[in-house]
Amino acid sequence: MKKPLIVQKFGGTSMGSIETIHIVAEHIIKAKNDGNQVVVVVSAMSGETNRLVALAQQIDSVPTARELDVLLSAGEQVSMALLAMTLNKLGFAARSLTGAQANIVTDNLHNDATIKNIDTRTIIELLEQDQIVIVAGFQGVNENGDITTLGRGGSDTSAVTLAGALKADECQIFTDVDGVYSCDPRVVPNAQKLDVVDFPSMEEMARKGAKVLHLPCVQYAWDNAVPLRVLSTFDVNEGSLIKGEQGTKPVCGIAIQRDMALITIEHEALSNLQKHCQMLGIEVWSVIEDTEWAGVVIKLDACAKLKLVFSDKIRNSEHVSLLTTVGLQAPSLVDRSFALLAEHDINIHYVSTTSQSSMLMLSPESVNSAANILHEAFITSDELLDFQPRQVSLG
């Protein structure tokens, strides 16, 4: 019988020292001893990428993109070799592969490349020799054989893409948190770890500010039906499993996105504003058409760029935060949110609702309180249970 195949990904903190690499090796050995084939994707040791970038920036504030990729990819080469040595020392056959050696072929966009194709034959051959295969995350080669890197969250992307290409049974993302929470526990102390999250909810949480997984990673896993598991390197637990289509579950999570801006203009300038955003590569999170004004929601740090070319038409720009309740949305949920927050004198500036989420625009100073109030009502307390039948009767 064919053994199950697991892809495990360990980030920079997990690979941060010889001691933590030893902990990583123990997770791998457990999976191997449980009867799995194991492919491991690693990031550079934490701090290493920053060290290399700092060296490059002593030379040029914008170093050549091709050569920056050559430089940065050395980081994973170091960590993968150290991990392979550790496994070897512990008596397990293991081989490290660079992006090039693993045949991870990307497009030619240095520093932000996209994986085009993975020829998995080398990896499969090593797995058939009972080797643990360790692959450098974050890197590949273009069709000329030049080294490329994938940009932010690249190692997660490497892992999930490899899992898809290998038709892995599970892709495990090891990190420094022990799973996906119903809200950021630093904001909502009562936040609950979710044992299972469906893909549409996870996608919406990642899109609306949850940092635990990068959006493209979730999307790729969903598209390729690769079950994703988020778990902690430094705890023994099952983490959170992300799989399946949306159930009938009501609000399962609350995502917070800070440092956003609401840019308001006259109605007639809206389409022009949208065009400028597109031209400048600024993502528009929401378009709002009020009776008095129109507006777009963009990231705060994109404001300056926009104002530089579009200042004359902008009526106002306001620093806001977004709070998104994710899960199957009851029709009364928004009304209930307004009422609950009003009790605490919190004003919702604007709401945008889909079948999977309700995004509330709030002032930055009220978003933490609002998250606690809504989490208490919709997730922690019994009110949720009371609330559901009412939804049905109102729906």
> Which segments are annotated as binding site?
9-12, 49, 76, 175-176, 181, 186, 211-212
Q: Does 68 bind a copy of itself (CB under 8 A)?
A: yes
Which of residues 145 and 189 has its CB atom nearest to a copy of itself in the complex? 145
Which of residues 60 and 301 has its CB atom nearest to a copy of itself in the complex? 60
Positions at the binding site for ATP? 9-12, 175-176, 181, 186, 211-212
Residues in contact with a copy of itself, shown as a per-residue x/- string from 272 to 311 under the rule CB under 8 A:
----------------------------------------
**Token duo for residue 292:** 């008095």
| Residue selected from 53, 56, 124, 384 as contacting a copy of itself according to rule CB under 8 A | 56
Judge contact between 102 and 168, C-beta under 8 A.
no
Of the ranges 93-101, 197-205, 273-281, 314-322, which one interacts with a copy of itself (CB under 8 A)? 93-101
Spacing of C-alpha 76 from chain mean position: 20
Task: Name the H helices within 34-64.
Answer: 48-59
Q: Does 132 bind a copy of itself (CB under 8 A)?
A: no
Q: Does 124 bind a copy of itself (CB under 8 A)?
A: no
Judge contact between 122 and 97, C-beta under 8 A.
yes
Residue 83 to residue 80: CA distance in whole angstroms = 5
- Give the residue from 40, 163, 136, 157 showing the smallest Cα distance to 92: 40
Q: Does 52 bind a copy of itself (CB under 8 A)?
A: yes
Q: Does 129 bind a copy of itself (CB under 8 A)?
A: no
Positions at the binding site for substrate? 49, 76
| Residue selected from 4, 13, 53, 67 as contacting a copy of itself according to rule CB under 8 A | 67
Residue 351 to residue 225: CA distance in whole angstroms = 32
Q: What one-character DSSP code corresponds to residue 282?
A: P
Task: Name the H helices within 258-382.
Answer: 270-279, 303-310, 333-342, 367-375
Classify 369 as helix, strand or coil: helix
Judge contact between 262 and 219, C-beta under 8 A.
no
Using left for φ > 0, alpha for ψ between -120 and 50, and beta otherwise, residue 38 falls in beta
| Residue selected from 84, 135, 213, 341 as contacting a copy of itself according to rule CB under 8 A | 84
Chain residues in the site for a copy of itself (CB under 8 A) = 18, 21, 52, 55-56, 58-60, 63-64, 66-68, 70-71, 73-75, 77-78, 80-82, 84-86, 88-89, 95-96, 98, 100-101, 145-147
